[in-house]
Amino acid sequence: MSLYELFILAVGLSMDAFSVAVCKGLSMQKLQKKHYFLVGAWFGGFQALMPSIGYFLGSTFKKYIDSYDHWIAFVLLTLIGANMLREAFSKGEQNDEKDASFAFKAMLVLAVATSIDALAVGVSFAILPQVNITAAVLFIGVVTFVLSAVGLKVGNIFGAKYKNKAEIVGGVILILIGLKILLEHLGVFG
């Protein structure tokens, strides 16, 4: 996986965290430096942790799924991307995301919820050749850290205007990456 592909994947994975950070920013009257760090650390940390766990699980079962691993990666990424698109086009607002609390319990729930898709991506990493898992998860964590901090500021300044657009972009990116993996393995392009 090239650095460019990893960056695109990291941005796609970060869009849920970005969207929640936008909602956090909406609910804050005045942001402090610690808020940027907290949002970035929670979301970036979990976006790095979950693919690590997924990679471990995928590596454990790789020998059993080797012949159809590209289909698994395609299905997982497509489902995650489709779910992000569904959420972006749903009309209902989730009130729990607008909670201004930075308490441990509130942030833990949001960090886990926004990083579940990264767990599945970690499984995909285990079945893809030439993925340096350490570099990949650190890169994903840093990109998510930065985009979450930016999302907090965007929400504080611009409001909910960008939340759905971020989820749409993230969903499309993940679906396209899954399709690329499948087409490469099927020999359509190399």
pLDDT tier at 98, thresholds 50, 70, 90: very low
Least confidently predicted of 18-22, 87-91, 96-100, 131-135: 96-100
Neighbours of 149 (CB within 10 A): 24
Nearest in space to 156 (alpha carbons), one of 29, 15, 14, 19: 29
Question: To the nearest whole percent, how much of the chain has pLDDT over 90?
Answer: 29
How far is the C-alpha of 46 from the C-alpha of 96, rounded, in Å? Answer: 19
Residue bearing the bigger pLDDT, 169 or 57: 57
146 near 17, Cβ under 8 Å? no
67 has a pLDDT exceeding 80: no
Taking alpha carbons only, the member of 70, 85, 64 closest to residue 19 is 85
Residue whose tokens read 């907090």:
152
Tokens 């759905």 locate to: 164
CA 96 from chain center: how many Å?
Answer: 19
